[in-house]
Amino acid sequence: MSPAARAQGLGNSPYSALGVGEEYSQANIANLGMGSVGISNANTVHLNLQNPALLARRARFTVFEVGIIGQYKPQISQNQGGSTVSQRDFGANINYIALAFPASSRWTTSLNLRPYSYVDYQTKVFDKVPNTIYEVQKNYSGKGALNKASFANGFRFFKNLYVGVEASYLFGNITNNSDSRLLINDVVSSVQPQDITVSRINRTNYSDIVWKLGAAWRPKLGEKWTLNLGAAYDPKTSVKAVQTDVNQLVTLSGTSLSDPDTLRANLTGHITLPEQMQFGISLERNNKLTVGVDVGFQKWSQYRTADNANPKLMDGMRLAAGLEYIPKITSTKYWDLVTYRAGFQYIKSPYQVSGKQLNDINGSVGISLPIGSYFVNNLNLAFVGGQRGTLIGTQIRERYVKIALGFTLNDKWFYRYALD
C-alpha cells in the first residue's frame, strides 16, 4: 500500500464514516504540545481556544495566530482471514486562524476560523448472495468537512474571576457514496456480461449556530503559586441539515445506464449534536511552571442523524495531563525564554466495534521559540504520537504521528500615543 495525501482532512480515517466524522482537537498548538490541556490554564502570550473565559487573561497586546497540522499513519491495520493487512496514509490541513484584541482592560474579543470535523474513508466489502454461487462487491466512501467561524468574548470580574461566551457558525458538507455490483462469470456459455453497479450518493449540507460557555477562577495560593480552575460547556444543539439522495445504474467504466433517480432533493432536516462538559485544574508558578489536568465528557448517545436515526454511538470521555516550563522569563538569554511542554491524553472515543469501545492513547511534546523584536512573537511546534483501536475482532488499529506548526504574533493595536 502506498501513502496518499488528501486536502480536506488529516488523511484516511475509517471511523470518520460514523457521526459527523473525525473531530479535530480544539486546542491550539501551544496547548496541543501539553496533552491538549487548556480548560483552566492560559498565559498572556498565546491564545486559548478551548475556554472563551480565558481570553480575558490576555495582555494589552493584539495577537494573531495561525497553525497547520499534518498526520502520518504508518499503520492502519486490521485482521482479515487470519492475517493482518495494513496500509499507510498522510494528510494535512490548516488547524486554525485566530485574531484577538482587547476591547477594554477587562474584556477581550476574538475571531477565529478552524475545522470542526472531517470525513475521509473508503471501504470495500465482499459478500455471498444467499442461496446462489454469486458474490457481491460493496463499496463505501465518504468525503467532506465541517468548519467553525467563531466570535468569542472573555470578561474579567473582580480580580480573578473570568466568564466567556463563544458563538460559532458551523458549516460544511459531507458526501457519502455506496454502490454494489453482482460479480458474474458465466463459464458454461463463455459469456462475460458487463457488470452493472447500483450507485447511491447522499450529499448533506450543514449550517447553523452553536454555542460554548466558559468560566475560570484563579485564586492566589501564596506569593509565587496560583491555582487555576476552569469549566467549558457546549449545550446540546440542533443543526440544520439539507439532504439530496440520488440513485443510478452505471457500468464499471462509468457509463450511465439510467438517468439519475433523485430520491430526495434539498430535503431539510436537523442533526442533534450532543452536549459536552469539560473541567480543568492547574497549578501555576508565576511565569515559570504550569502543571494541569483536564477531564471532558461528551454524550454522543444523544446524537441523531438528519433522518432522526440513532447510530448508537457511545458517550465519550477525555482525560489529559500536561506541563509547561519556561526557564527564566526575566532573562535576556535566548534559551532561558524558550517554552517547553509535554503531555499525555487518554480518550474513550464514541465508536464501538466488536462490542468494545475504542480507546485512543497518545503522548505529546512541544516547544515555543521566541522570534522577532523583543521576543514577543513565537514559533510553535508540537508532536503527538499515539494509537487508537486494537486488532481485536473487526476493529481497525491506527498508529499515528501528528506534527503541528504555528506562529503567534503580538503587537499593540489601537494604541493612542501621547506627545510630550
pLDDT digits (tens, 9 = 90+) for 270-314: 999 999 999 999 999 988 999 999 999 999 999 999 999 999 999
C-alpha cell at 99: 485574531
How far is 13 from 91, CA to CA, in rounded Å?
Answer: 10
Residue 248's H or E segment, with its range, is strand 237-251
Residue in the block written with cell 486562524: 97
Give me the phi and psi of 254, to 5 degrees please: 95, 5
Which of 249-254's residues contact partners 24+ apart within 8 Å by CB, and which partners? 249/196, 249/197, 249/198, 249/199, 250/196, 250/197, 250/199, 251/194, 251/195, 251/196, 251/197, 252/181, 252/194, 252/195, 252/197
C-alpha cell at 175: 458526501
Domain 30-118+144-166+210-235+276-411 in this protein, CATH class:
mainly beta
Beta strands in 235-315 (DSSP E): 237-251, 261-273, 276-285, 289-298
C-alpha cell at 371: 522570534
Angle value at C-alpha 403, between 400 and 406, nearest 5 degrees: 155
- pLDDT at position 353 is 87
- pLDDT at position 387 is 96
How far is 55 from 324, CA to CA, in rounded Å?
Answer: 19
Angle value at C-alpha 73, between 72 and 77, nearest 5 degrees: 170
- pLDDT at position 187 is 43
Give me the phi and psi of 188, to 5 degrees please: -60, -50
- pLDDT at position 265 is 87
Strand 83-104 with 356-371, pairing: unpaired
- pLDDT at position 416 is 61
The separation between CA 349 and the C-alpha centre of its own chain, rounded to angstroms, equals 12
Give the residues of the chain that fall short of pLDDT 70.
1-8, 59, 184-195, 252-254, 414-420
Q: Is-contact 261 248, C-beta < 8 A?
A: yes
Residue in the block written with cell 522570534: 371
Give me the phi and psi of 130, to 5 degrees please: -55, 135
Global confidence as pTM: 0.88
